[in-house]
């Protein structure tokens, strides 16, 4: 009776220990990544096999780019709000709407230029092979029709663009 209980509970305890051990070992690097100061850049380091020096250079580029990106977000939101206001007041296509659309398009072009400059700089900070891979990936995720640039711009706050 006692022997059966001991075997039964030992099996269950070992099974649980094995589960917890492999789960924690398997997620250790990801927990460390989430605990870092800039998890998204640590992810970039892992994904594109960056050296510490490369990561440092990219972190500096990233930090310099973020204020520009935030400013673009602010301008996009402001222009979108103006356009929305014009559209809500108008019942026909007016020269003001045309002018506002041109301004919105101008900001979009400016934003695309800034982004591309940043992407090329980041790509150049990596090894040739990883840089090429990075450019292909980031352009596919931001410039291709089903992603980023081709999505309608938000009418909400800059926070919705990911600047948190």
Partner 1 sequence: MNARNTNEQDVRLDVLLHEWKADAALPPRFQEEVWRRIAHADTPVRIPWWAELWQLLEAAFRRPALAVVYVTVLLLVGFGAGLMQAREKASQVDHTLEARYLQSVDPYLKAR
Residue numbers at the binding site for partner 1 (CB under 8 A):
1, 3-4, 7-8, 10-12, 14-27, 30, 33-34, 39-44, 47, 62, 65-66, 69, 72-73, 76, 108, 111, 115, 118-119, 138, 141-142, 147-149, 151, 153-154, 160-163
Q: How far apart are CA 51 and CA 133, in angstroms?
A: 16
Phi, psi of 105 (to 5 degrees): -65, -40
Q: How far apart are CA 98 and CA 105, in angstroms?
A: 11
Which pair of structure tokens corresponds to residue 112? 């695309």
Q: How far is the CB of 41 from partner 1 (least distance, A)?
A: 7
Q: How far apart are CA 58 and CA 43, in angstroms?
A: 12
Q: How far is the CB of 141 from partner 1 (least distance, A)?
A: 5
The smaller minimum CB distance to partner 1, of residues 20 and 81, is found at: 20
If one counts every other C-beta atom within 10 angstroms of the C-beta of residue 76, the result is 20
Q: How far apart are CA 107 and CA 103, in angstroms?
A: 6
Q: How far is the CB of 42 from partner 1 (least distance, A)?
A: 8
The smaller minimum CB distance to partner 1, of residues 89 and 141, is found at: 141
Contacts of residue 126, Cβ cutoff 8 Å, sequence gap at least 6: 48, 50, 54, 58, 134
Q: How far is the CB of 20 from partner 1 (least distance, A)?
A: 7
The smaller minimum CB distance to partner 1, of residues 68 and 127, is found at: 68
The smaller minimum CB distance to partner 1, of residues 10 and 90, is found at: 10
The smaller minimum CB distance to partner 1, of residues 89 and 124, is found at: 124
Q: How far is the CB of 117 from partner 1 (least distance, A)?
A: 11
- Closest by Cα among 145, 143, 152 to 119: 143
């Amino acid at each position: 009776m006692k022997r059966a209980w001991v075997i039964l509970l030992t099996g269950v305890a070992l099974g649980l220990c094995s589960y917890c051990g492999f789960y924690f070992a398997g997620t250790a690097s990801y927990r460390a990544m989430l605990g870092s100061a800039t998890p998204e850049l640590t992810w970039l380091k892992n994904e594109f096999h960056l050296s510490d020096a490369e990561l440092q250079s990219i972190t500096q580029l990233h930090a310099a780019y973020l204020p520009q990106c935030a400013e673009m977000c602010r301008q996009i939101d402001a222009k979108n709000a103006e356009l929305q206001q014009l559209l809500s007041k108008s019942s026909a296509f007016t020269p003001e709407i045309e002018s506002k659309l041109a301004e919105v398009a101008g900001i979009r072009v400016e934003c695309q230029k800034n982004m591309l400059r940043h992407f090329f700089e980041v790509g150049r900070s990596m090894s040739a092979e990883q840089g090429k891979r990075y450019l292909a990936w980031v352009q596919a995720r931001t410039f291709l029709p089903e992603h980023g640039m081709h999505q309608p711009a938000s009418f909400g706050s800059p926070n919705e663009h990911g600047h948190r």
